[in-house]
Chain A
Amino acid sequence: MARVIVDVVLKDEILDPQGDAISRALPRMGFTFTPTAIRQGKSFILTLERSPDASEMAQIEKAAATLLSNPVIENFTIRVEN
């Protein structure tokens, strides 16, 4: 079994009102660490029978760039866990 994890996060220049709302909630809850910014993203966890080969990885990258993320506003990273 292998897991391929695609993380999708808004590009830095795109406003993230959800991340900002989380930033504002932290001090209200008594947390004293103060991140200068919080960006909210999402993860897609693909479970495969085995580690993807080069052709499958290329397909996963294409899926990440077309369906899983919108390249106009989001960046993605792909990592494989065996």
Chain B
Amino acid sequence: MRVGVVTFPGTLDDHDAARAVRYAGGQAISLWHGEADLHDVDGVILPGGFSYGDYLRCGAIARFSPIMSAIVPAAERGLPVLGICNGFQVLCESHLLPGALTRNVGLHFLCRDQEIEIVNNQSAWTNDFAANSRITIPLKNGEGSYQCDKKTLDDLERNGRVIARYVGVNPNGSMNAIAGITNEQGNVVGIMPHPEHAIDSLTGPSADGLAFFTSLVKSRV
């Protein structure tokens, strides 16, 4: 099981994402933003950070990078893609996922351990979770408020495409406390908090995040 981890200029969490893939039993393959080559991977992770310095809008410039020109059509054909934090923003800018992530309601950059509920455990990246699991993983973002028009929101809710919601106080003003969503086919997932930082209780608040990665790796053994 080969899982690509993309590095854009300004990406921060590619090493943790690669480590999470290895913990899950997969092989992590580094993918470089300037190459339009997926190296025969079975899935792709767009990790967190500040791609291209978050210039213009978060994810806006990454969307037009050579690697995205390979990822977008592959994702549309069913390649599993997980976007975490900045990666979620890139997926929205690329229109692989609907809506957009905007400034947190409180304007502050947030960094804390956050409880979320996995409300869809059918996607390529959440099928190793029990239904309605509550997990605690780090949340760290300045622009994590999920926004979309009402029709899109209704569509997401009606079709079970919200995959995770914040539990307790909505930290950033996301509509319906949305922490993560998936596309219609369930292969593309965007999540604002960081499962890759919570795969071992030695280095994170829990090991709850690991199931995102085992969801993919186990499905393709």
Q: Is the CB of B102 within 8 A of A15?
A: yes
Partner of B93, one of A18, A21, A70: A70
Q: Is A54 an interface residue (CB 8 A)?
A: no
Which of the four size classes fits the interface of chain A? 10 to 19
In the bound assembly, the distance between CA atoms of A1 and B98 in angstroms comes to 40
Q: Is the CB of A72 within 8 A of B99?
A: yes
Interface size on B, residues (CB 8 A): 21
Q: What's the minimum C-beta distance from A71 to chain B, rounded to whole angstroms? A: 10
Residue on B with the closest CB to A73?
A: B100
Q: Is the CB of A18 within 8 A of B103?
A: yes
Q: Is the CB of B173 within 8 A of A15?
A: yes
Q: Is B131 an interface residue (CB 8 A)?
A: no
Q: Which residues of A contact B60 (CB under 8 A)?
A: 67, 70
Q: What's the minimum C-beta distance from B27 to chain A, rounded to whole angstroms? A: 35
Q: What's the minimum C-beta distance from B169 to chain A, rounded to whole angstroms? A: 16
Q: Which residues of B contact A18 (CB under 8 A)?
A: 103, 107
Q: Is the CB of B106 within 8 A of A17?
A: yes
Q: What's the minimum C-beta distance from A53 to chain B, rounded to whole angstroms? A: 25
Q: Is B30 an interface residue (CB 8 A)?
A: no
Q: Is the CB of A17 within 8 A of B100?
A: no
Q: Which residues of A contact B104 (CB under 8 A)?
A: 17
Q: Is B147 an interface residue (CB 8 A)?
A: yes
Q: Is B221 an interface residue (CB 8 A)?
A: no
Residue on B with the closest CB to A14?
A: B147
B-contacting residues, A1-34, CB 8 Å: 10, 13-18, 21
In the bound assembly, the distance between CA atoms of A50 and B131 in angstroms comes to 61
Residue on A with the closest CB to B148?
A: A72
Residue on A with the closest CB to B175?
A: A15
Q: Which residues of A contact B103 (CB under 8 A)?
A: 16-18
Q: What's the minimum C-beta distance from A73 to chain B, rounded to whole angstroms? A: 4
Q: Is the CB of B100 within 8 A of A70?
A: yes
Partner of B56, one of A14, A15, A21, A67: A67
Q: Is the CB of A15 within 8 A of B105?
A: yes
**Interface code A41-65, partner B: CB below 8 Å = 1, 0 otherwise?**
0000000000000000000000000
Residue on A with the closest CB to B145?
A: A15
Partner of A15, one of B64, B93, B147: B147
**Interface code B127-162, partner A: CB below 8 Å = 1, 0 otherwise?**
000000000000000000101110000000000000
Q: Is A68 an interface residue (CB 8 A)?
A: yes
Q: List 26 A-B contacts (CB under 8 A).
A: A13-B149, A14-B102, A15-B102, A15-B105, A15-B145, A15-B147, A15-B173, A17-B104, A17-B105, A17-B107, A17-B173, A18-B103, A21-B107, A67-B60, A67-B61, A67-B64, A70-B57, A70-B60, A70-B93, A70-B100, A72-B92, A72-B98, A72-B99, A72-B100, A73-B100, A73-B102
- Chain A residues with CB under 8 Å of chain B are 10, 13-18, 21, 67-68, 70, 72-73
